[in-house]
Amino acid sequence: MTSPTEQTCQTGVLSALRPLAGQHLAQLETEREERQREADRAQRELDATQRLAAERKAAQFIAWAFPNTLARALDAQAWQGYPPNSTRPGPARWACAVAYLGEGLFLHHTQRQHDNDSEEDVLTLIEPCAGPGCGAYVTTRMFSEEALCNRLTESAARLCPACTPF
């Protein structure tokens, strides 16, 4: 049987320990929340930097590769950048920028990262298929300014059947 003295002592330790345990857990939780807030803030900053870089790269590529058309008609501010998303597969994981041209047409620019660390500019025209009831968006990579000009001045019914440009 425990002596009254011993019992008092044990109760004393626990009664001191329990609030300490509670305080320490609360402290750990606060620190975890602070770390998370800091990580979120850093991620937002990185996203903004990468978004801006994507917009700048798109405008630079246009100025270099499409000097007679897009560079003159499309304001550099028209680009909306998106940070890379490592959770998405394929090209969607790279940073990109999108510009609206009007009439449902968009331009999409990204820099494809190759295994040897080189980068390749990829400009894609995204247009709604004009086929009755189709509703699909068709993407065509624009390799040259001439190809873009041809595409934009084609008066033929835009795409469909089955949205195949080839």
Query: 140 - beta bridge partners?
Result: 125
Can you tell me which of 126, 131, 145, 151 binds Zn ion, judged by CB under 5 A? 131
CB of 157 to Zn ion, least distance (A): 10
Q: How far is the CB of 41 from Zn ion (least distance, A)?
A: 44
C-alpha span between 102 and 138 (Å, rounded): 15
Residue 101 within binding range of Zn ion, rule CB under 5 A: no
Site for Zn ion in 51-80 (CB under 5 A): none
In this structure, what token pair is assigned to residue 12?
Answer: 């004393």
Contact between residue 80 and residue 52 where contact means Cβ atoms under 8 Å apart: no
Q: Are 74 and 99 in contact (CB under 8 A)?
A: yes
Q: Among the candidate windows 53-61, 88-96, 104-112, 131-139, which touches Zn ion by CB under 5 A?
A: 131-139
Count of residues that bind Zn ion according to CB under 5 A: 6
CA atoms lying within 13 Å on the CB side of residue 89? 0
Among 53, 134, 147, 149, indicate the residue that binds Zn ion (CB under 5 A).
134
**Could you give phi then psi for residue 126, rounded to 5 degrees?**
-115, 120
Determine if 160 is a binding residue for Zn ion (CB under 5 A): yes
Tell me if 42 contacts Zn ion by CB under 5 A. no
Nearest distance from residue 163's CB to Zn ion, in Å?
4
- Which structure tokens are listed for 109? 């620019």
Q: How far is the CB of 106 from Zn ion (least distance, A)?
A: 16
DSSP conformation class of 114:
P
- Which residues contact Zn ion by CB under 5 A? 129, 131, 134, 136, 160, 163
